[in-house]
Structure 1
Amino acid sequence: MELAGLRRAAGLHPQWTDAAVGLCLAALSIATSHFTPLGEPQQEATGHHVAAAMLVFVTVACRRLAPWPVLAGTTVAAVPLTVVLGSQPLAVTVALMAAIYTVALATDRRTVWLTTLGVFAVGWLAHLAGGPEPWWDPGNSVDLAFLGMAAAYGDATRSRRAYIAAVEDRATRAEQTREEEARRRVVEERLRIARELHDVVAHHIAVVKVQATGARHIGQSRPEQVAAALDAISRSADAALKETAYVVGLLRDSRDPAAPTRPPRGLAQLTNLLDDIADHLTVDHHRSGEARQLPAAVDVAAYRIALEALTNARKYGDGTADLTVAYTPQAVTLDITNPVGRARPGQGSGYGILGMCERAAAIGGRVTAGVDGSGRFAVHASLPTDVHAVTA
């Protein structure tokens, strides 16, 4: 625990840590300057040894602040000390190792090795100038091993830190991607449920409104028809409740026994839809091509687009509409047209056409809506029936 605490404190205060380590190395270099190999005369600490100790202290304490200037200054200061003392003091070697290690953390491998060779060359020339050994003496090259170790350790540390940073960055990006994907799916689900609710509520409430308005107008003159209008209102309200319960059930957990299991409506229920709206919208229905089983997403989208287009025809037309469903080998197309009735300001949310376009785009199809050349409002939907295209 104490060692972990010391490491944590060193990480929080790196400059103070370097200064403390440099002071220890400086004191150790002065203390060891008295030791000499056996058989050689006793060596006394001189001002040059004190200068070497100061050099190692300054180098280690300032190495993080300016790695390159510190290395250059240490290399220059090492030359006169090596020449005067006849060999490179151990404190100078340690200072150069610390400087090269720090530079290796901040640069690429090629640069640090070229720099190490340059520092060694300067020290080697200083050895030749101050020492009695000839240039080929192996002792002149001992410092190369120490400097090489410092460069290799610094390069390895830099590579390890870069790898850890890359792994952490990939993990962070992966987490962000998962969060973005989750948010995207939530938005898509909200849009899907909003479309379902709009389709269901808009259709059935429109039927209720039309029937209620008609019942109010005929209540005095034709009271016998009020009951039929009320029956139609009751059926539409009941259907709206059931459809809304189904859409709300989409929000439930699939393991919930109360979640509805009824499959969504498709083109097979188109006849029932036309029967429901027959009292207030006359539809001329045609089909071309052989009807076949469609992918579920295409079947639901086609039914909902037809439902929305016919609802708009009933609300804004003159009570008539044409509906054509065409089956081709690659697609199913729907064409719904109706005369444009008198404009009703403030009516309509504008979400119906947008919902049709979004439904078609979700499965790779398209919807166009607008007044055609004959003055009729036309909705054309083309939905691909190829399973691979739909699910891609």
Structure 2
Amino acid sequence: MSNSWQRRAATRPQAVEATTLVLLFALTAASVLVTRAVLSGAPPLWPGIALAAVACAALHWRRERPLSVLAATTLCTMVTGALGYLLTVGVMVPLLVAQYSTSVRTPRRTSWNSALAAAAGMVVTGLLVPSFRDSPILGTVNPVAMVMLAAALGAYVRVRRQYAVARAEHTVREREEETRHRVIQERMRIARELHDVVAHHLTLADAQAGTAAHLAHTHPDQALGIIAKLPETTAQALRELKAAVGMLRQDNDTSDLTPAPGLDRLPDLVEACAMVGLEVTVSVEGERRPLPPVLDLTAYRIVQEALTNVTKHAATRTAQVRLAYTPHYLTLTVTNATPLDRPAAPATSGGGFGLLGMRERAAAAGGTFHAGRRPHGGFEVACTLPLHHHGALPPDTHDTPPPHSHDESPAT
């Protein structure tokens, strides 16, 4: 029933306003009649009824012109009191409604100044009417207290509404900030994916083309074999690039997107590295197990980027990849050893993002990352990924991630 009444009130605001004013007039007129009946002086009836009608009619503009309506109702109430009527709550209903509406719709200083002015009018009325000079509580204290109470109630409602508006705006800002943060995180994720795909495959393609050009005169058969494999490298790059860019689509058509690569593609990665003269040895420790898609992609991309760095910068043409499985962790180690009779390749400088991307991937999966030079030459990339990210890991003294230092070198 309450919902039905609310729907009717929302669809018929004028009828609701008219009904409200009629009820207020009925209450005020009844109070005037009761007050006249109990008073010994018997103040004039029709002037009191007329003043009640004028005051209630003025309330129609209380939302648009609250101060003007408050002045009109205050004047009507003062005249009613001057006629000899006792200023009870019922007689003062138009004034109290106007004061409440003024306190709700005007600033704090304006609302309280208007309340003090209305209260002063009640004091003046109580002091000038001879009937109430011997009764200051009935003539002044009660009307002033009711006016101030209506002002306080209106001020409270105004503060509550302002708080609700501020809270709603704060909630909107928080949602916008969270959305902006998610967009930035998604952009960073896609940027890492594009960097890994483009850097790895273009490096391999460049190395294959260079090797084929080098062998073209001395070993043409080998050069032709490398050139024959080059389209496979570029085709794989295009497929992965298409899958990465497909994440930017707005539609839901994912039928032509290539599944995200994982450690099951490690043999293909080793074969691709062998085409450019990099011999990669893979060793697995512990019981190999299927990984969640996100963790599987993270592990593959870290190994891929590490081998890409070896292809581009290492002085040696060999690399070792070690996968160590424990009940709660997967440790990836990619190492290349520089021969003792050859100097280490100089660290690249500039604004590379290879190591930074690997570190961000590991951190996103809840793992740790370390990259740096080895004491006996060469470079090592080590990453430990939890197999149960965001979950509590049971304590196990034989299953803790190895400590890593953070003396990193610049990235590609």
Q: TM-score range by the shorter chain?
A: 0.5 to 0.7
1:273 paired residue number: 269
Cα deviation, residue 348, structure 1: 7.5
Alignment partners' CA distance in 1, 2:329 and 2:286: 11
The secondary structure found in structure 1 opposite 2:359 is helix
The secondary structure found in structure 2 opposite 1:278 is helix
2:210 pairs, out of 197, 208, 213, with: 213
**Pair 1:200–1:347, CA change in 2 (3 A):** farther
CA contact (8 A) 1:197 1:247 kept: yes
2:252 paired residue number: 255
**Pair 1:343–1:132, CA change in 2 (3 A):** same
Cα deviation code 1:344-389 (max 9, x no counterpart): 6878752111110111111111211111222221111011111543
Alignment partners' CA distance in 2, 1:127 and 1:254: 78
Cα deviation code 1:12-63 (max 9, x no counterpart): xxxxxxxxxxxxxxxxxxxxxxxx956xxxxxxxxxxxxxxxxxxxxx89x9
What value does the CA root-mean-square deviation take over the aligned residues? 4.5
Cα deviation, residue 199, structure 1: 0.8
Question: Which aligned pairs between 1:171-190 and structure 2 lie closer than 5 A?
Answer: 171-190=168-187
**Pair 1:132–1:203, CA change in 2 (3 A):** closer
The secondary structure found in structure 1 opposite 2:319 is strand
CA contact (8 A) 1:366 1:383 kept: yes
CA contact (8 A) 2:100 2:150 kept: no
Alignment partners' CA distance in 1, 2:335 and 2:204: 19
Q: TM-score, normalised by structure 2?
A: 0.63
**Pair 1:267–1:132, CA change in 2 (3 A):** closer
1:153 paired residue number: 150
Cα deviation, residue 243, structure 1: 0.9
Question: Which aligned pairs between 1:228-307 and structure 2 lie closer than 5 A?
Answer: 228-253=225-250, 255-256=252-253, 259-260=256-257, 262-279=258-275, 280-307=277-304
Cα deviation, residue 342, structure 1: 5.1
Question: Given the alignment of the two structures, is residue 144 of structure 1 paired with residue 135 of structure 2, yes or no?
Answer: no
Question: Which aligned pairs between 1:90-239 and structure 2 lie closer than 5 A?
Answer: 106=108, 137=135, 140-239=137-236
CA contact (8 A) 1:282 1:319 kept: yes
Alignment partners' CA distance in 2, 1:363 and 1:177: 25
Residue type of the alignment partner of 1:203: H
| Aligned residue-pair number | 312
Q: TM-score, normalised by structure 1?
A: 0.65
Cα deviation code 1:170-215 (max 9, x no counterpart): 2111211121122111111111111111111111111111111112
Cα deviation, residue 309, structure 1: 0.5
**Pair 1:249–1:259, CA change in 2 (3 A):** farther
Alignment partners' CA distance in 1, 2:173 and 2:207: 50
Alignment partners' CA distance in 2, 1:372 and 1:237: 33
Cα deviation code 1:68-95 (max 9, x no counterpart): xxxxxxxxxxxxxxxxx9x9xx9xx9xx
1:17 paired residue number: none
Question: Which aligned pairs between 1:237-386 and structure 2 lie closer than 5 A?
Answer: 237-253=234-250, 255-256=252-253, 259-260=256-257, 262-279=258-275, 280-317=277-314, 318-340=316-338, 343=345, 350-386=352-388
1:52 paired residue number: none
CA contact (8 A) 2:193 2:244 kept: yes
The secondary structure found in structure 2 opposite 1:325 is strand
Cα deviation code 1:275-330 (max 9, x no counterpart): 22123211121111101111221111001000001111111111111111011111
Structure 1 stretches lacking a partner, 5+ long: 5-35, 39-59, 64-84
CA contact (8 A) 2:323 2:330 kept: yes
Cα deviation, residue 339, structure 1: 2.8
Residue type of the alignment partner of 1:255: N
2:26 paired residue number: none
Alignment partners' CA distance in 2, 1:100 and 1:173: 28
Alignment partners' CA distance in 1, 2:295 and 2:254: 27
Structure 2 stretches lacking a partner, 5+ long: 1-13, 15-41, 45-66, 71-81, 393-412
Using the aligned pairs only, state the percent identity.
35
